[in-house]
Amino acid sequence: MPKDPGLVAVLAYDGLCTFEFGIAVEVFGLPRPEFDFPWYRHCIVGLEPGPMRALGGIQVLAERGLEALEQADTIVIPGWRDRDETPPEALLVALRAAHGRGARLLSICSGVFVLAASGVLDGCRATTHWRHSAELARRFPAIEVDPAVLYVDAGQLITSAGSAAGIDACLHLVARDFGTRVANSVARRLVISPQRAGGQAQFIPTPLAPTPRGDLAPLLEWARQRLQQPLEVSQLASRMAMSERTFLRRFREATGMTPKAWLQHERLARARELLESADDPHESIAERCGFRSVESFRAAFRSGVGLPPAAYRERFGQGRGGR
């Protein structure tokens, strides 16, 4: 049975970004009777005494004040109300203390400016909405800002891009705690696609391509059904009746990734599902997911997921040990 993931505290403040706040409450605060293991405990932490105004004319009354951050295992910071406003020192002190004792801090969109002001991101890689990335890099040069990705997992610190990327970052944290199968179940209840990889590109405005991005969807599904095969760019381009050069450009526009990186992500996702739900030996999983050898599978899995396959199965499998 998965371990208790502890208390998730979601920050609320006057001028609250409603959508980002709602993402965190929906993922971590909604009861999950479909699961037979402990889910997150959850509380709203108010930066100011309520009622606090939120975008859209909503008012929020918080359950607890900043003192609750002392017990939180995970703290979520929605988009900050004003990037030019230095967050209150009491909040910054509380975040530094939480980070120092090992709590996880997750920011959504401009919430990263709160983490940056606290100093906990110094020397770390982070991201934010592409519109704010240059400002973040200029104001906080000690942070390695990646403007292109959906989210960055730096262990205790998870930063995400524009609002919807916060969903992906939150689901990524669920996958870290409970495995891909559970994260995908949460995504289905939200009626959204499974969590996207953090390295996928943000949808930065570019000139419209002559071929709509959706035209690649049938090809991607075709490829997912054949991950065990040695799929080549030339084969994929041929199915789209494109030159390889045009195909590579369209593919990156549609997914933010190269075909090789996308296939690796899909193969690792399939491997995670199999490790969680089946008792097949690693050799069989490697073959079913299109890896040339069990050694290359283990190396790719450890590099991409952060755990060797046996440890992943031990943690997230249905009571089965690794092989």
152 vs 164: CA distance, rounded Å: 14
Same domain? For 221 and 185 the reply is: no
Residue 255 domain-assigned (yes or no): yes
In a domain, 197, yes or no: no
Q: Do 222 and 263 meet the contact criterion of CB atoms below 8 Å apart?
A: no
Q: What is the CATH number of the domain that holds 91?
A: 3.40.50.880
Average pLDDT, the chain: 87
Whole-number Cα distances in Å, 71 to 45, 98, 105, 168, 276:
11, 9, 13, 25, 31
Pair (169, 234) in one structural domain: no
Chain segment 248-300, per-residue pLDDT in tens? 998 887 777 889 989 998 899 899 889 988 788 999 999 999 999 999 999 99
Q: What is the DSSP letter of 242?
A: -
pLDDT tens digits for range 16-57: 999 999 999 999 999 999 898 999 999 999 999 879 999 888
Coil, strand, or helix at residue 265?
A: helix
Give me the number of domains the chain comprises.
Answer: 2
Residue 49 and residue 185 share a domain:
yes
Integer Cα distance of 104 and 224 in angstroms: 33
Taking each helix axis as running N to C, give the angle between helix 259-277 and helix 217-224, from 0 to 180 degrees, rounded to the nearest 10: 50
pLDDT at 145 over 70: yes
Closest to 112 in 3D by CA, of 55, 69, 169, 67: 169
Distance CA 58, CA 52 (A): 8
Can you give the residue range of the structural domain that contains 322? 207-323
Q: What tokens were used for 173?
A: 């944290």
Residue pair 158/172 in contact by the 8 Å Cβ criterion: yes
Domain co-membership, 153 together with 279: no
Q: Name every residue whose Cβ is closer than 8 Å to that of residue 66 and which is 6 or more positions away in sequence.
A: 45, 46, 47, 90, 91, 94
Distance, in Å, from the CA atom of 270 to the CA atom of 285, rounded to the nearest integer, reads 9
